[in-house]
Amino acid sequence: MNSMRWLVLVLLAHTFAPGFLGCSSDTGEHSSHALDAGQEDGTIRDLTRDVPDSSSQSTDSQLSDSSTSGEDATGDGSDELVDGGAQDPSIDPYPDLEGPCGYGNVEGRVCSPSENVWIAGARVYVETLDCDGNPVLIETTSDDGGHFLLEHVPSGWQTIKVERGSYYTQVDTLVLADTTVSVSLDDKLCFDADSARLAVVSGDYDSIQEILGRLGLQYDLFNGTTWYLDSFMLAQASFMRDLLLNSTALNGYDVLFLNCGEYFMDIRAEGLWYSVITNLRGFVQNGGSIYASDWTYLFLESAYPDAIDFHGDDMDDWSVLTGDMLEHVSATIVDSDMAAHLGQSTIDLEFPDEFWAVVDGVGAGTTIHIQGTVSAASVAVPDSPLLVSFQPESSDSRIAFTSFHNHQQLAAEIERILYYLVFML
């Protein structure tokens, strides 16, 4: 039996010997991996069960060995980072897996399905048994660059789980005692494209699906640009009516994205408003999250009237939709976690069209992420909340609203905010 295990590990070593990939920035440029402070000299050894398909790797990726110096991660002077390269001859690179239980570390980076956006604030954890047979939960949170380090993990095959908002994935990794192993060949632990079920209602003035596409996320698109379609068009398209008026269909999704558009007027004119709002509330109560932008504010106001204080009479469209055309708004990122992730506390926004939804304030329990001084009908509105979110029913649901659109905001920093927002939901 031991000889067979030795042979398997030899094959693993030959498979993973070239090393691993590391990304240095959101641009996808690769560099040697920098280990966290507190680890010994050595290189990373990938010990995952599944090797990523080479077709999913970026075309400019190159395998390279990596080494750093520092103190050991556990503080006992015994931690060794290994791969298939040159090793200290005194260290057995193929330990007996049937030997005594020990503890090691697992590190990696959480990323989007597109593999080029690092996910901050993700919960990474292992639920297992310690060396004494007792249940143990080991967890950490990914940093602003998506990095994580799970320490004191029992040796053997362990399932590493990661979740952020509605998104979840997992991978099986072989943990070796007194060793820090990489969670994958290229150090990445990326969400799957279908890790959450996403529904998007298209709009006249916005296109959040472009952001989802850049993240590599799959979604179902429902036509919201025209309330009525002729029979041929109806047969060719997934229709908004089929989603918002069908609670069973709606509850089959984890996140609903409502692009800015005029469809809310048609729903109200047809006397269908109450049914849609009832379904939206049921969707959230069942754990669903919602993103809405600009003119779709009325869905949120009707379902959760105390969460956001819109300008003037909240239920009067033309009292709320009074934002002026503004070429430049210097906004403040008041969410400290978002500011840390972006590495900045201010951001420039544009409102190239007039008649957008203005927010005066928020209710208890609603978080302001970005705010700035704007004007409504030529009257200044100081510190108007421009990106807010709240959890109305349970900790598993979140609703987010932006006054600004996304398809007109071409700056990279705006895209990064929207990436961050998507994985909040």
Closest C-alpha among 355, 350, 333, 264 to residue 301: 264
Instruction: Calculate the CA dihedral of residues 228, 231, 233, 238 and round it to 10 degrees.
Output: 70
Angle at 29 between CA 52 and CA 24, to 5 degrees: 90
Class of domain 2-190: mainly beta
Residue 263 CB partners (closer than 8 Å, separation 6+):
201, 203, 224, 225, 227, 240
Residue limits of CATH 3.40.50.880 in the chain: 198-422
Residue 319 CB partners (closer than 8 Å, separation 6+):
311, 312, 313
Angstrom distance (rounded) from CA 284 to CA 294: 20
Question: In angstroms, how far is CA 56 from the centroid of its own chain?
Answer: 19
Q: Express each pLDDT in 198-210 by its tens digit.
A: 999 988 778 889 8
Angstrom distance (rounded) from CA 19 to CA 62: 10
Beta-carbon count within 10 A of 45 CB: 25
3-class SS of residue 238: coil
Q: Are 177 and 103 in contact (CB under 8 A)?
A: yes
3-class SS of residue 22: coil
Question: What is the token pair recorded at 53?
Answer: 């398909």
CATH 3.30.70.2740 fits 198-422, yes or no: no
Average pLDDT over the chain, rounded to whole? 75
Mean pLDDT for the stretch of residues 172-199? 91
Q: Express each pLDDT in 370-381 by its tens digit.
A: 999 888 888 888
Give me the residue label for tokens 């934002």: 323
Closest C-alpha among 161, 93, 196, 136 to residue 425: 196
Closest C-alpha among 264, 243, 240 to residue 252: 243
Q: Express each pLDDT in 301-345 by its tens digit.
A: 999 999 998 887 877 777 777 777 777 888 899 999 889 888 889
Residue limits of CATH 2.60.40.10 in the chain: 2-190
Q: Express each pLDDT in 81-124 by its tens digit.
A: 333 333 344 444 444 555 689 999 999 999 999 998 999 999 99
pLDDT score recorded for residue 410: 56
Residue 238 reports pLDDT greater than 70: no
**Residue count (the chain):** 425
Angstrom distance (rounded) from CA 312 to CA 332: 23
Q: Are 68 and 39 in contact (CB under 8 A)?
A: yes
Angle at 217 between CA 255 and CA 34, to 5 degrees: 115
> Taking the complete model, does pTM exceed 0.85, yes or no?
no
Q: Are 359 and 384 in contact (CB under 8 A)?
A: yes
